[in-house]
Amino acid sequence: MSNAEPPSEADFQKIFAAEAEGRLDTLGDQLIELEKSGPTPDLVASLFREAHTIKGGAAVVGLPHVARVAHALEDLLEEVRRERRKVDPTLIDAVLAGVDAIRGLIPLAVAGDDHERAAFEAEQRLRIAIGGEPAGAPAPPPPPVEAPRRPSPPAAEAGGPPEDTQTHRVAGHAATAAPAAPAPTDITLGGEAAHHAAPEMLQMPVHRIDELVRLIGEASASTLRLGGALLDRLECEPSSLSEYRDLARCLNELQELALRARMIPVMSLAPRLRRAVRDLARDTGKQIRFETRGEDAEIDRGVLERLADPLLHLVRNAVDHGIELPEERRSKGKPSEGVVRLHAMQLGSEVVIAVSDDGRGIDLGRVREAAGQSDSTALEMDDESALYLIFRSGLSTATRVTDVSGRGVGLDAVRASLNAVRGRIEVRSDPGLGTEFRIAVPITMATLRCLVVASAGRRYGIPLHSVRAVLPPQPAASVGGRDMTMLDGRPVPISSLAGVLGTGNGCDGPAVVVSGLTRSHALEVDELIDQRDIVVKGFGELVPRLPAIAGAGIQPDGTILLVLEAAGLIERARRRALHGAAPLEGEGPGRDGAEAPAERQAAAILVVDDALTVRELQRSIFEHAGYRVRTAANGEEALERMAEEVPDLVLTDIEMPVMDGFQLTEAIRARPGFASVPIIILTSRGSEESRRRGLEAGADGYIVKSGFDQVALLSAVERLLGASQ
């Protein structure tokens, strides 16, 4: 299972908008060339392909009105391609007008503004230019109460900006925002100015705030190094110098202000979650009230962006699995209307976010039964351990597969997303009374408060939000063949940090108890050094993800300090207890008892499409479902990819430059090494002729983009992969 968090439909719409802008520019240039030089097969084919790609991309990312106009434009170019229409100024004017119409429609559609009438009129003009019947009048839009574009914010949230903006109020330390793709940030520099008060507002891209935070963090680290140099070289205690104290104080205040500029309310997500509850409740016939508490709790914008999808999963899970139907609730003596609640609070350096419901609770019997199909030990687990089986990849207690549940992906994705923000999750459930998922994450990831420890001659940082306790040196007791220590009257496994990391042997120093997703573990160290704020950085793409390592920071003396990850340490300690001290081949940072699937076990899918939007959308869908994904922009590039590694399945478009999907399918079937690879065609061509040609070329499946359904696509892929195995 990939740990990457999947982008939202809005994110893909923004990618599509950026890509379409370039394609529309190409269309305009080529139309002018067509008018000037006359039609050639290559030029007309390129024009048709650009329009076709825009149509397919718009359909896939959920912009049907844009797709309809692009389809009409494609039909007009088809007349030219089949030489049923001569190229003249009237034709060029009509096609350019269609290009302009699409260019104007895309921003409206992406922003969620009303554009149906404009799309209808543009399509009608193109149909008239073709010489056919004008398009039928569009159906009247549904009443706002029945299907609103966005939920209206409650009184406590009124006055906030639209979902795709970021508004940070530095002076008052309040903010209203919903995570989206990076957007300009409005910063109030003085007083609680209204959002429209231009003189007191300054727009700034969010990445500039991120860069400011980074530079301030590095300046703070440099100040610490300066203090060390003063002490070592001049034997002068830095704190005795007023200039040094003033510098350190100013930097601390500046860092705090910069970090607070990034803070936005957790409840910025409430409108999106409320809409999800409302829509799913209607689909399932349930009566549900969505409540929020903790409107004043704030969190780093980057952290909240990573939490958007996990919280959406949990809310939808509460509606689909938790809340009962009205008649079932009444039979249990409950109100017909169920409650799903989002509660946020700040506890020290963490923000705790709880998603709870008053539904049926988690059926541990069904959980054990589902997990027991692949792991017999699940049937013998105690209730507390069995409760956390729901986070295992592929486990589902749903009796049927829907677009919400049934594939065992949702809660596993929650776990993976929390790993990305160094968070943890707890779950409590009372049969018949309800369930609560409680997420704890650091307020910010720009700097991390760490406990610095020494082990086997090296220093490490352990994030304080994962430190449960520090125990004095004490002898360990053996329980069930494992070394244990006692914490709050309960046994906790204990190991030496050096032994877990493979850097040395045991020691007799203090023990740091760290907490992960479901377990705690005590780690013996040589010495506790101090607590400090560390600017944590990743290792970049050139260095692979290291087990139990969250990143690295700079120490005052300029050396590198590795920052450890609690959940990865616990999993590594658990595996070493099971397999001994031998090196663990292929070991990765698992999550508290849930087996981390080996990358080699995931099926490989090759996505072939010349549209970046479609390629990235398919990549996200398949990676989120646990597959390995490679991409290619045309058939020739796909064959090169297959020569490097034969995929388990190929998903291809038809309209592509160099080599189209039909030719690619025939080429795959003609090569002995590739002939057995399943192929699915995903295309905008919906005609029976194209479908028949695709299947005759050797495709195993044929899906039309206009009827694109993620669940159906995954079902088809799983079915074909199962058959091929």
pLDDT class of 214 with cuts at 50, 70, 90 = confident
Q: Is the dihedral of CA 679, 680, 682, 685 positive or negative?
A: positive
User: Residue 326: what pLDDT?
Assistant: 94
Query: Under 8 Å CB-to-CB from 180, ≥6 apart: which residues?
Result: 8, 10, 11, 163, 164, 165, 166
pLDDT of residue 543 exceeding 80, the answer is no
User: Which two three-digit tokens encode residue 458?
Assistant: 């090296």
Rounded mean pLDDT of 524-529?
92
Which of 215-229, 287-301, 323-337 is predicted least confidently? 215-229
For every residue of 285-299, DSSP letters joined together read T--EEEEEE-TT-EE
Q: What is the pLDDT, as a whole number, of residue 296?
A: 83
Answer for the pair 39, 643: CB distance below 8 angstroms, yes or no. no
Encoded tokens for 246: 């003033």
Mean pLDDT calculated for residue range 683-693: 84
Q: Using an 8 Å Cβ cutoff, are 34 and 92 in contact?
A: yes
Q: For residues 523 and 471, what is the distance between their CA atoms, to the nearest angstrom?
A: 10
Q: Which of 185-199, 562-576, 644-658, 668-682 is predicted least confidently?
A: 185-199
Kindly state the percentage of the chain with pLDDT values over 90.
11
Which regions of the chain carry the CATH code 2.40.50.180?
A: 451-579
Q: What is the pLDDT of residue 409?
A: 46
Residue of 154, 235, 597 whose CA lies nearest to 416:
597
Q: 124 or 172: which carries more pLDDT confidence? A: 124
Average pLDDT for the chain: 75
Within the chain, all domains assigned CATH 1.20.120.160 are found at: 9-130
Q: Which residue has the higher pLDDT, 394 or 321?
A: 321
Q: Positive or negative, the Cα torsion across 683, 687, 690, 691?
A: positive
Instruction: Kindly report the CATH number that applies to the domain delimited by 265-442.
Output: 3.30.565.10
Least confident of 114-128, 612-626, 636-650: 612-626
Helix (H, G, I), strand (E, B) or coil at 145: coil
Residue range 383-405: mean pLDDT, rounded: 63
**Domain(s) of CATH 3.40.50.2300: residues in the chain:** 602-724
pLDDT at site 662: 92
Q: Which residues contact 196 (CB under 8 A, 6 or more apart)?
A: none
Q: Report the pLDDT value the prediction gives residue 657, as an integer from 0 to 100.
A: 85
Q: How far is CA 378 from the centre of its chain?
A: 29
pLDDT for position 2: 42
Identify the CATH number of the domain defined by range 602-724. 3.40.50.2300
pLDDT score for 203? 53
Q: Which residues contact 300 (CB under 8 A, 6 or more apart)?
A: 259, 262, 263, 443, 444, 445, 446
634 close to 654: Cβ distance less than 8 angstroms = no
Q: What's the count of helices (H) and strands (E) in the chain, helices before strands?
A: 20, 27
Residue type, 628: R
Rounded to 10 degrees, what is the CA torsion of 361, 366, 370, 373?
150
Question: What is the pLDDT at residue 338?
Answer: 94
* pLDDT computed for residue 446 by the predictor: 61
In this model, does residue 328 exceed pLDDT 90?
yes
Q: pLDDT band at residue 558, thresholds of 50, 70 and 90? A: low
Q: How many CB atoms within 10 Å of residue 488?
A: 9
> In this model, does residue 123 exceed pLDDT 70?
yes
Confidence bin at 348 (pLDDT 50/70/90): low
Higher-pLDDT residue of 136, 659: 659
Check residue 378 and give its pLDDT: 72
CB 261 within 8 A of CB 177: no
Q: Give the model's pLDDT for residue 722.
A: 67
Q: What is the mean pLDDT of residues 558-569?
A: 79
Q: Where in the chain is the domain with CATH 3.30.565.10?
A: 265-442
pLDDT at residue number 5: 52
> For position 679, what pLDDT does the model report?
92
Of 586 and 116, the structure prediction assigns the larger pLDDT to 116
Question: Which CATH code is given to the segment(s) 451-579?
Answer: 2.40.50.180
What CATH number is given for 9-130 in this structure?
1.20.120.160
- Give the integer Cα–Cα distance in Å for 308 and 293: 17
**Which candidate, 591, 602, 589, places its Cα nearest to that of 551?**
589
How large is the average pLDDT for residues 570-578? 76
Q: Tokens 């994110």 — which residue?
A: 11
Question: Which residue(s) pair with 569 in the sheet?
Answer: none
* Identity at 32, one-letter amino acid code: I
